Copies of this chain bind each other. A is one copy, B any other.
């Protein structure tokens, strides 16, 4: 398995889905999944997707600047660390963000066990 390739493909899929069909992210999470979004914790696929759907912006575009990844241990997980810019519709300036994902193998693919998002205020 090429962790770098998995990470790159995951990141492309995650943000393109976030930006075009946010509800479609549900398939990436499971009941054990955790999201910490700007310090607020949510657990479980349904609650996580509800949290993302309820964010105070609808149209947005994520532009990824960097992707780093490392294997997370013997269970076969992959840690993915992303930095980038989030452009909200109608806003002049993009917001910088950092986000990390912990991908765990599941039925020949991966799901997101851990997800932590932070804006990097200028």
The count of identical subunits is 2
Question: Interface digits, A73-101 against B, CB 8 Å rule (1 contact, 0 not)?
Answer: 11101010101000000000000101010
Interface check A102, CB cutoff 8 A: yes
Knowing A34-B70, A70-B34, A70-B36, say if A98 contacts B83 (CB, 8 Å): yes
Instruction: Among B81, B96, B113, B122, point to the contact of A116 (Cβ < 8 A).
Output: B81
Complex alpha-carbon distance, A68 and B119, angstroms: 13
When the two chains form their complex, are residues B72 and A72 in contact, meaning their CB atoms are under 8 A apart? yes
Give A contacts to B, CB under 8 Å: 34, 36, 39, 41, 66, 68, 70-75, 77, 79, 81, 83, 96, 98, 100, 102, 104, 113-114, 116, 118, 120, 122
